[in-house]
Amino acid sequence: MNTPIRVILLAVAVAGLAACKKEVTKPETAQPSQPTAPVSQPVQEENWTDPKLLDTKPCLVARVAYFDFDQSVVKSEAMEMLRCHGKWLSSNPGARLTLEGHADERGSREYNLGLGERRGNAVRDLLLANGGRAEQVNVVSYGEERPTCTESSEGCWSQNRRAELIYTTRQ
């Protein structure tokens, strides 16, 4: 076995372990009786108007929702992120963001423009349901014009079917 393949296998094994570990720890954190954080780290009340929070809190750092092919249903894994951004918008009335809707390359460009807008609107609706106000959110569809990945494969397409949250005014 040559070295690169061994390295890849090792990486896959580590990734697999990491994935397993994550699943194991989940039920633990759900039980309040078990200590989950070091005692020395005091639990702080989060300040939702602190500008640093937008760049540090994981659910606010996350800014992309992904979609299935020809679909605009927001997946469950994006919900926590959207709840957080909705809360940020309601806590910071001056905040403004643009939702960029994107599609993969398959099919016609103008239809994909419609699809990108539909995805942007689906995310907007969830932001509004979680505290954002309509004037804070602007939807723009790029269709298939701005792929993050340019290969013709599902691995690439799944990264391109997305809605990106871009803050134009943070607070």
In the complex, which residues of this chain contact another protein (CB under 8 A)? 70, 98, 105-111, 113-115, 117-118, 121, 138-143, 145-146, 150-152, 154, 166, 168
Nearer to another protein, 114 or 131 (CB): 114
Nearer to another protein, 62 or 105 (CB): 105
Strands (E), the chain: 64-66, 96-102, 137-143, 162-169
Beta bridge partners of 101: 141, 163
> Distances from the Cα of 49 to the Cαs of 53, 54, 86, 123, 137, in angstroms?
8, 9, 13, 22, 18
Nearer to another protein, 79 or 128 (CB): 128
Nearer to another protein, 3 or 150 (CB): 150
Q: How far is the CB of 51 from another protein (least distance, A)?
A: 17
Instruction: Please check whether residue 141 is in contact with residue 120, taking contact to mean a CB–CB distance below 8 angstroms.
Output: yes
Nearer to another protein, 79 or 105 (CB): 105
Q: How far is the CB of 113 from another protein (least distance, A)?
A: 6
Type of residue found at 97: L
Give the closest residue to 61 by CA, choosing from 92, 42, 88, 95.
88
Q: How far is the CB of 59 from another protein (least distance, A)?
A: 22
Q: How far is the CB of 116 from another protein (least distance, A)?
A: 9
Type of residue found at 134: A
Q: How far is the CB of 23 from another protein (least distance, A)?
A: 32
